[in-house]
Chains A and B, each alone.
Chain A
């Protein structure tokens, strides 16, 4: 038995306070990427490597002026003048260089570049406009919420998408970029048609629980309500949706006959998930009571 804080322990038994557990309503859906096999992963990476080597697509970035670290020594004014002069010299040099380098800057092959969507923002925009035929995402992304939105986006547009580990490491080297977390091939791309057709069958199908709710369930409403949550909900759901349709006023008995409502009545209710968490001892709390409004 150990006595920790004497103020909190009033009883003579010397027990510490029971740990308070908080319950929170957790997300019933588990939205995650479908796992990709090792063989398929290597196959995809090899195909991409070959293609990018053939095309020789590379980006040359303009030479960035390095920021000189300001060394603060005694006699700062003298140093400042010197640094200003030096910076002016550098400024004069850079525009001369840039005009020569402009011709070699940017992407080596613009047409091919237009058929690709490189980078998370570009892939997201292309998916929203529905221009993309295949999406490849790097698996070694931290934090995960950077690319999680792509799952639901690509599922809603019915675009095959998969998470390939180490995509960034391999592809960025070929394209001479820092990192490639998402790569999208546009639908009307001519130079990547073979690759897309080769990769798509290897890509596992994405499943978002609430989007693909077309699981066929026969005789659902006719069952007796033995199991509590699912059946009762399915009775209620078509009833509610029937009300929404307004003009089609139907009673509950006729729901089983209609084919239109059969899709909605096949939707299943996912079980309730509750998360039990212990309070965080290091939580930053606002101090109340010190400042009172007069």
Chain B
């Protein structure tokens, strides 16, 4: 696995800011402002340099006020009904009131968690394709 990633120092900075925000809330649960500032900075960095953040990170940051969403401390999580049989998980930010909704679909898997998204899978697929298709071009050429 090559670790030649563009803007690695920016990723390190994102990493630090994210963990610092968690530590701030761990030591002082009422100091939401600082955690919000760190997450806001993190968002700005990724926006400026167009860095992709994993859904597991984005789901813990409020879209409106950029505060770090910790269930029980800065956010409430409830299961609600929608449309007869569907149930969704609703995360509500306590500081701004913005909600995040996740539909409870048991068969849904995020693209990043699926095995097809991994580059090793793609390489193995291309190898299989290369071994399976021999004489197609010879026919078309002739």
Residues of A that sit less than 8 Å from B by CB: 1-3, 16, 19, 21-29, 120-121, 124, 127-128, 142-143, 145-146, 149-150, 152-153, 156-157, 210-211, 213, 229, 233, 237, 244, 263-264, 267, 269-278, 280, 283
26 sample A-B contacts, Cβ–Cβ < 8 Å, listed by A number:
A3-B137, A16-B126, A19-B119, A23-B5, A23-B6, A25-B53, A27-B18, A124-B78, A127-B72, A128-B72, A128-B76, A142-B107, A143-B104, A143-B106, A143-B108, A146-B104, A149-B89, A210-B19, A210-B23, A211-B26, A269-B19, A270-B19, A274-B11, A278-B116, A278-B118, A283-B111
Complex Cα–Cα for A16 and B108 (A): 31
Contact A156 B52 (CB under 8 A): no
Contact B122 A272 (CB under 8 A): no
Whether A237 contacts B105 in the complex (CB less than 8 A), given A269-B15, A276-B119, A277-B117, comes out as no
Contact B52 A121 (CB under 8 A): no
| Residue in A157, A211, A269, A277 whose beta carbon sits within 8 Å of that of B112 in the complex | A277
Contact A143 B54 (CB under 8 A): no
Q: In the complex, what residue of chain B is closest to A20 when comparing beta carbons?
A: B119
Please name all residues of chain A whose beta carbon is closer than 8 Å to the beta carbon of B72 when the two chains form the complex: 127-128, 149, 152-153, 156-157
Contact B71 A152 (CB under 8 A): yes
Complex Cα–Cα for A274 and B122 (A): 18
- Total number of B residues with any Cβ neighbor in A under 8 Å: 55
Q: In the complex, what residue of chain A is closest to B27 when comparing beta carbons?
A: A264
Please name all residues of chain A whose beta carbon is closer than 8 Å to the beta carbon of B23 when the two chains form the complex: 210, 213, 237, 264, 267
Please name all residues of chain B whose beta carbon is closer than 8 Å to the beta carbon of A280 when the two chains form the complex: 111, 117
With both chains docked as a complex, state the minimum distance between the C-beta of B68 and any C-beta of chain A, in angstroms. Answer: 10
Contact B89 A146 (CB under 8 A): yes
Q: In the complex, what residue of chain A is closest to B25 when comparing beta carbons?
A: A210
Q: Is B65's beta carbon under 8 Å from chain A?
A: no
Q: Is B22's beta carbon under 8 Å from chain A?
A: yes
Complex Cα–Cα for A260 and B29 (A): 17
Contact A272 B137 (CB under 8 A): no
Complex Cα–Cα for A35 and B117 (A): 28
With both chains docked as a complex, state the minimum distance between the C-beta of A277 and any C-beta of chain B, in angstroms. Answer: 5
A interface secondary structure, majority: mixed
Please name all residues of chain A whose beta carbon is closer than 8 Å to the beta carbon of B93 when the two chains form the complex: none
Please name all residues of chain A whose beta carbon is closer than 8 Å to the beta carbon of B112 when the two chains form the complex: 24, 275, 277
Please name all residues of chain A whose beta carbon is closer than 8 Å to the beta carbon of B102 when the two chains form the complex: 143, 145
Contact B18 A28 (CB under 8 A): yes
Q: In the complex, what residue of chain A is closest to B70 when comparing beta carbons?
A: A152
Max chain B CB contacts within 10 Å: which of A25, A26, A270? A25
Contact A19 B122 (CB under 8 A): yes
Complex Cα–Cα for A269 and B104 (A): 33
Please name all residues of chain B whose beta carbon is closer than 8 Å to the beta carbon of A267 when the two chains form the complex: 23
Contact A278 B117 (CB under 8 A): yes
| Residue in A25, A121, A127, A271 whose beta carbon sits within 8 Å of that of B51 in the complex | A25
Contact B119 A26 (CB under 8 A): no
Whether A272 contacts B79 in the complex (CB less than 8 A), given A24-B52, A145-B89, comes out as no
Q: In the complex, what residue of chain B is closest to A229 when comparing beta carbons?
A: B12
Q: In the complex, what residue of chain A is closest to B137 when comparing beta carbons?
A: A1
Please name all residues of chain B whose beta carbon is closer than 8 Å to the beta carbon of A153 when the two chains form the complex: 71-72
Please name all residues of chain A whose beta carbon is closer than 8 Å to the beta carbon of B73 when the two chains form the complex: 156
5 closest pairs, A vs B, by CB? Answer: A142-B106, A149-B71, A210-B22, A24-B52, A153-B72
With both chains docked as a complex, state the minimum distance between the C-beta of A55 and any C-beta of chain B, in angstroms. Answer: 26
Please name all residues of chain B whose beta carbon is closer than 8 Å to the beta carbon of A211 when the two chains form the complex: 26
Please name all residues of chain A whose beta carbon is closer than 8 Å to the beta carbon of B121 when the two chains form the complex: 278
With both chains docked as a complex, state the minimum distance between the C-beta of B123 and any C-beta of chain A, in angstroms. Answer: 8
Interface residues of B in 73-113 (CB under 8 A from A): 73, 76-79, 89, 91, 102, 104-108, 111-112
Contact with A along B110-135 (1 / 0, CB 8 A): 01100011110110001001100100
